[in-house]
C-alpha cells in the first residue's frame, strides 16, 4: 500500500511524505504506482525546479518527502493543493492501495 502523509499549518499544506508500493499490478504494469509517481514528480520538480523554492527533500528506497515548514511560500500553495487533491482522488478510486494521513500543526 502507498501511504501519503500530509502536514498542514494554518490550513495550508507545508509538507508531505509518500512511501510504499500500491501492489495493484506487476512491476511495470501498476497504473496506481505510475499515477502517484507522476503526480509526485510533477509536484517536487515544480516546487524546486520551476518555482526555485528551497524545499527540504529526502529520498530513500520507496520513499520521498518534501517540507516547506519554517517558511511560508505562497507560490507553492497551488502545487501542494493540487497534489493533495490528486492523491485524494486516487485514494477514493483505489482505497485498498492508497492511504492518506493528514495532520494539522
CA 26, CA 80: separation in Å to the nearest integer? 29
Contact 18, 64 (CB under 8 A): yes
The answer on pLDDT for 53 being more than 90 is yes
The answer on pLDDT for 83 being more than 90 is yes
Please list the residues that pair with 60 across neighbouring strands. Answer: 63
Query: Could you tell me the sign of the dihedral formed by the alpha carbons of 94, 82, 71, 54, in that order?
Result: positive
User: Which grid coordinates are listed for 27?
Assistant: 512491476
Please list the residues that pair with 18 across neighbouring strands. Answer: 4, 64
Provide the pLDDT for residue 69. Answer: 67
* Cα 2 from chain centroid (whole Å): 11
Average pLDDT value over all residues in the chain: 95
Amino acid at each position: 500500500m502507498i501511504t501519503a502523509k500530509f502536514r498542514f499549518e494554518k490550513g495550508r499544506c507545508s509538507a508531505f511524505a509518500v512511501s510504499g508500493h500500491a501492489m495493484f499490478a506487476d512491476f511495470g504494469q501498476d497504473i496506481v504506482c505510475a499515477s502517484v509517481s507522476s503526480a509526485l514528480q510533477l509536484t517536487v520538480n515544480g516546487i524546486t525546479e520551476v518555482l526555485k523554492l528551497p524545499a527540504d527533500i529526502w529520498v530513500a528506497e520507496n520513499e520521498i518527502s518534501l517540507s516547506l515548514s519554517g517558511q511560508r511560500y505562497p507560490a507553492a500553495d497551488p502545487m501542494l493543493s493540487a497534489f493533495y487533491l490528486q492523491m485524494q482522488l486516487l485514494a477514493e478510486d483505489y482505497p485498498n492501495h492508497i492511504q492518506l494521513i493528514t495532520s494539522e500543526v
